[in-house]
Amino acid sequence: MRGPLHPGPVARTNGPVRVSLTEFTARRMRDLPGIAREGIALSRGWWAMPGAIGVVLYVDALTKTGGSLSIWESEADLRRFVALPRHTAIMRRYRDRVDVRATTWTAENFSVSEALKQRAQRLTAAAAPAAPAAPNAR
């Protein structure tokens, strides 16, 4: 189930945006409602989040998976959100109860539906080990 786009205070731009995709898998079903509640509570204040363009939350109870796709004006705005005491408290509370995968990227032409279609591919690519550096050619 995918929720609506909660707009932030920054109007949608035609220029580049910073995108953050974070997905969790709860280890126990009983943790899923609390995690969802916390995400919804954070999204209710999105209209006042500096640098935020929008956020979409999603959850799949069958797989105990959920996440957020957030769009930012800049990397600095994203980092400011990640460092918020409320966000860090939630992450600390659930860190031993979930497996988290995350990635960020810059997009020139951003579409929520396209980003969500690419979700698995982007998260898998972010988790893959980096390719070894090529040896120096002489």
pLDDT at 110 over 60: yes
pLDDT at residue number 138 = 45
pLDDT at 1 over 90: no
Choose among 21, 42, 34, 44: nearest CA to 86. Answer: 42
- pLDDT confidence band for 135 (50 / 70 / 90): low
Q: Structural domain boundaries of the chain?
A: 6-127
Following DSSP, what letter does each residue of 27-47 receive, concatenated?
SSGGGHHHHHHHHHHHHHTGG
CATH of 6-127, one of 3.30.70.100, 3.30.450.40, 3.90.1200.10, 2.40.50.140: 3.30.70.100
Q: What is the mean pLDDT of the chain?
A: 87
Please tell me the distance from the alpha carbon of residue 86 to that of residue 19, in angstroms, as a whole number: 20
Sheet holding 17-26, edge to edge: 6-7, 52-60, 65-72, 17-26, 98-107
Pick the more confident residue, 33 or 14: 33
pLDDT at residue number 116 = 85
